[in-house]
Structure 1
């Protein structure tokens, strides 16, 4: 991919201080683009510290994506870089592995405020200043493509897909494309730690359950998901909009029968 497209352009990545978001930022910097990272975490304390770049190419905004004040700071950071805003990645998200009846109203509202309202604010506040021909990518999940017991998380990830399609219609006259990436299992240290309401043993069982339903029999490296995001941000996808791209090792397309096939011996386990 020619680096000439990326040079002199700015991209915003939310939740970009670690994991999948950091992989997206690192790819953008490597291509020569500028990046504004939005994350309440300090990169120095994150699981993956983002690769440092000169202040002229990288700005950090410490704040919650569910706050309009954070997005005003983001726009100031974009203006300070002084290069056209060409893209937005709504990557920030939190999880909660509780069913409908287990989820409190406070938990519901907090999760949707980060996962869904944050993306809505990002699109609403950046689209007016984004260059024509830009690109917006919402990061959903396989939980946004099928039934999943985690109520608030599932609702937010389905909502991200709908938000992207509505925005794609509105922004099409300006040739701004809006798409959604739906990762499956992503192999990071965080997924194996107690989080989202799970203890260590439950977290491991959750990982293995997802892996067993993935035909490729593993989780994605964060950089593999980042590659799909970069594709949707870049010129090779200029005729792609309002589309959902699963990056899940075949989980949604063939996971159920892949698992059954291995269980009965018709399909061999991965070598």
Structure 2
């Protein structure tokens, strides 16, 4: 049975972190459904590679850092200048590890990751996930009318406390933000919803030690990692 297509025809969608993994998979699917894509990534060349893979014409790649206010304000100004509006915003950009987060030292047997984690690494993780989600949502809703949709990417880590504390805390913050924002944006006719995937086979999880992934996979009903396309 063929799946329905064309459900996003005429819509403009911005997807952050679209250069790989879930972001690229979402960009491909949205374009297949007829959307015009603003593909953002920290590495503009990665976003550009995604754009080259998309069905249809008129898509555009953007570089920039989602937790840099100037970068985000500039990108959404360009989106407004190019299309005049935005219908869908997907706050997907994120990382699971950062320099100074204590992971390597923990694996070397020097102690728990939290006891070895630097505050800068913790703060940066919060800025990328929670701050990036805030900035992306704030700027996106300025370009949206009634019927607009914002999608935020949390994680099972934010619900169940899986993984390192900085990542779980950041993803939990995304959930709290989404709940609070839904009350305000709902009055404007704009929906905001969070997705909380489990362990997904992407470049981000490829860097995670197998010894850490295995217990999380075993707690997953399917007993395997999910795929970006399934999300």
Q: TM-score, normalised by structure 1?
A: 0.72
Distance across 2 between alignment mates of 1:164 and 1:112 = 15
Where 1:7 maps in the other structure, the secondary structure is coil
Match for residue 59 of structure 1?
Answer: 60
Distance across 2 between alignment mates of 1:69 and 1:54 = 30
1:11 CA drift (Å): 0.8
- The root-mean-square deviation of aligned C-alpha atoms, in Å, is 2.3
Which of 125, 129, 134 aligns to 1:111? It is 125
1:20 CA drift (Å): 0.6
1:176 aligns with 2:177: no
Distance across 2 between alignment mates of 1:137 and 1:77 = 21
Which of 17, 20, 37 aligns to 2:19? It is 17
- Asked whether the equivalents of residues 20 and 203 of structure 2 are also in contact (C-alpha less than 8 Å), the reply is no
After superposition, where does 1:9-88 map in structure 2 within 5 Å?
9-44=11-46, 49-52=49-52, 53=54, 57-82=58-83, 84-88=85-89
Per-residue deviation, residues 234-253 of structure 1 (Å, max 9, x unmatched): xxxxxxxxxxxxxxxxxxxx
Match for residue 106 of structure 2?
Answer: none
- Asked whether the equivalents of residues 6 and 32 of structure 1 are also in contact (C-alpha less than 8 Å), the reply is yes
The runs of at least 4 consecutive aligned structure 1 residues that moved more than 6 Å come to none
Distance across 2 between alignment mates of 1:112 and 1:159 = 8
Match for residue 105 of structure 2?
Answer: none
Distance across 1 between alignment mates of 2:38 and 2:44 = 14
1:58 CA drift (Å): 1.3
Q: TM-score, normalised by structure 2?
A: 0.84
- Asked whether the equivalents of residues 17 and 94 of structure 2 are also in contact (C-alpha less than 8 Å), the reply is yes
Distance across 2 between alignment mates of 1:94 and 1:190 = 7
- Asked whether the equivalents of residues 71 and 125 of structure 1 are also in contact (C-alpha less than 8 Å), the reply is yes
Where 1:131 maps in the other structure, the secondary structure is coil
Q: 1:190 to 1:138 in 2, by over 3 A?
A: closer
1:186 CA drift (Å): 0.4
Which of 194, 202, 217 aligns to 1:211? It is 217
Where 2:114 maps in the other structure, the secondary structure is coil
- Asked whether the equivalents of residues 9 and 84 of structure 1 are also in contact (C-alpha less than 8 Å), the reply is no
- Asked whether the equivalents of residues 51 and 61 of structure 2 are also in contact (C-alpha less than 8 Å), the reply is no
- Asked whether the equivalents of residues 8 and 83 of structure 1 are also in contact (C-alpha less than 8 Å), the reply is no
Q: 1:117 to 1:181 in 2, by over 3 A?
A: same
1:101 CA drift (Å): 2.2
- Asked whether the equivalents of residues 145 and 189 of structure 2 are also in contact (C-alpha less than 8 Å), the reply is no
Q: Where do 5+ consecutive residues of structure 1 fail to align?
A: 196-202, 226-271
1:80 CA drift (Å): 3.7
Distance across 2 between alignment mates of 1:192 and 1:138 = 22
Which of 134, 137, 144 aligns to 1:130? It is 144
Match for residue 165 of structure 1?
Answer: 179
Match for residue 251 of structure 1?
Answer: none
1:207 CA drift (Å): 2.5
1:51 CA drift (Å): 4.9
Give aligned pairs, total.
Answer: 214
Where 1:69 maps in the other structure, the secondary structure is helix
